[in-house]
Copies of this chain bind each other. A is one copy, B any other.
Amino acid sequence: MDHPHRRLNPLTNEYILVSPHRIKRPWLGQTEPLQSINLPKYDPDCYLCPGNRRSNGEQNPSYNHTFTFENDFAAVLPPPLPSPPPPPHPFLTCQPIHGACDVVVFHPRHDLTLSDLPLHDIESVIDEWTRIYQMRGAEQGIKYVQIFENKGAMMGCSNPHPHAQIWSLSVVPTIAAVELESLIKYSLSHTRWRPCLLCEYAHVELKLQTRVVVLNQSWVAVVPWWATWPFELIVLPYRRHIPCLSDLDVAEKAALADIIARVSRCFDNLFSCSFPYSMGVHQQPIPAQNSTIDVAHIHLHFDPPLLRSATVRKFLVGFELMAEAQRDLTPEEAAVRLRSCSEGLPNVT
């Protein structure tokens, strides 16, 4: 694997070009400003801090754990929507979409990320994600609930106060739909039993260990074989098939909080900075009545943009926008570096 080669992402059916021989290329490109890490515990100008006013004039409560509100600039709106006019050509069809956009603030403290919060506070965040997933999923026409976090100015995040967004939609969005299609196809590939692509993948990685970064009693974090981002991670439950947040038992929820905390600290340690990333939870779409879409296997994607240090980012440009994802550092080397920043692989068997 020292030579250029391609790897297939079985979730998206897209290839990535890996160029391990090129890792010694000198860096001549842009560097980013280093983010300040001296944040106050409370910022009077932050629209997420307790007691402050948001741009629509509403005042945040003085909350103690999580705090959820509807985004004042939601990308989708509640129903009913006017039906779109008939298109002048099939190419120009507007597909209607409705839904809601919620913001989940993790904690009253302006300065505490998932690396810093006590485990029970991270469990409160997971509880809140689960509550919204169920509440929005019960609303009319909602088909998918997308939980994601944008962390760091490098990810375009305008506010460092730790929070996630949850967009609940009347459609299954493109990437979730593509992954789900791959899971369905894989499950149908064996007629006698119904294998899960991600259960199987987790087992393969646990056996080999080469790409495993963090492991606990229920979850594993690996740099996937097909990683696009230099230090991309996928976090999977590996002991049993788990479609969604609602299916987690108490121990699995505690273990999810644990692996989120350990992944975050591992990232922060890597370049000694508050590590920027986009995180997303992929899980079961909202099942229609009489339907059982239990083929989904819950997992978290962490896509961090950093490449060589806290100030050098990877750009998805040029060949990657026009042709195919590409990386120089192999996922195996990324895993070695991340493991050296983790708190050790516990011997869980």
Contacts and interface: CB of A to CB of B under 8 A. Distances in A.
A204 B89 contact: yes
Given A150-B318, A171-B6, A318-B150, A156 B95 contact: no
B321 A278 contact: yes
Contacts of A324: 173-175
Interface in A64-120: 73-77, 81-82, 84, 88-89, 91-98
Given A6-B171, A321-B303, A324-B174, A95 B21 contact: no
A289 interface: no
Nearest to A226: B91
- Copies of the protein in its oligomer: 2
Interface in A1-48: 1, 3-8, 10, 14-15, 17, 19, 21-22, 25-26, 28-30
Contact of A204 (B8, B92, B153): B92
A336 interface: no
Contact of A73 (B22, B76, B155, B323): B22
A261 B317 CA distance: 21
Given A75-B22, A167-B323, A322-B282, A94 B14 contact: no
12 contacts: A3-B96, A4-B75, A5-B95, A6-B171, A14-B174, A22-B73, A29-B153, A91-B204, A150-B317, A175-B323, A282-B322, A301-B321
Interface of A: 1, 3-8, 10, 14-15, 17, 19, 21-22, 25-26, 28-30, 55, 73-77, 81-82, 84, 88-89, 91-98, 144, 146, 148-150, 153-159, 165, 167, 171, 173-176, 200-201, 204, 208, 225, 278-280, 282, 301, 303, 314-319, 321-326, 328
